[in-house]
Amino acid sequence: MKTLGIWRHAKSDWNDRAARDFDRPLNKRGLKGAAIMGLHIAQQPIYWERIIASPAVRVAQTIELGAQAAKINPQVRWDRRIYLASSATLIDLLREQEGDPTTILMVGHNPGLEDLIFDLVPDDGSNPLRDIVEEKFPTAAFAKLELDIATWSELEDGGARLVQLTRPRDLDSELGPEPA
């Protein structure tokens, strides 16, 4: 069995219109969300053998703040292909992981991460967590999927179970949806 963690970067700052998308930092709300979610992920009873992440500034800050809150120093493999990747690209990247780690935490962006969940977890009406993701996979959200495969190269659409979903607002109500 393999376990895949999916962590979307925390809320980014759109105020600097001159900044390239890749260079956008986290906003104040994102700073708090990254720390809370990073601590939550680190407290899970799982060791992430491999962490792969987009090198975009907002992802790097999300991981850094989460690690600081958890007082850990994770080894991250930065992979530019994760930046704004489609689900198909993310699946290809997972299939090619050498050494076949049992657990992988992927940190990146929507819509690719959300679509990855949709592609891997069957839409058979039996998983209320998938229904929540269909409503929205918000910034800083974390999902844990279990896959009955021996190697990552066996990864196929519809082959995962979504067993955990945590949104920032689940841990701190102030991190819930912003008023319209």
Tens of pLDDT along 136-180?
Answer: 999 999 999 999 999 999 999 999 999 999 999 999 888 887 766
Encoding tokens for residue 8?
Answer: 């979307």
According to the model, what pLDDT value does residue 48 have? 95
3-class DSSP assignment, residue 117: helix
Nearest to 33 by CA among 177, 144, 169: 169
Q: What is the DSSP letter of 11?
A: P
Segments making up each domain of the chain, as ranges: 2-101+115-174
Tens of pLDDT along 64-112?
Answer: 999 999 999 999 999 999 999 999 999 999 999 999 999 999 999 999 9
> For the whole model, what pTM was predicted?
0.95
- CA-atom Rg of the chain in angstroms: 15
CATH code of the domain occupying 2-101+115-174? 3.40.50.1240
Tens of pLDDT along 22-39?
Answer: 999 999 999 999 999 999
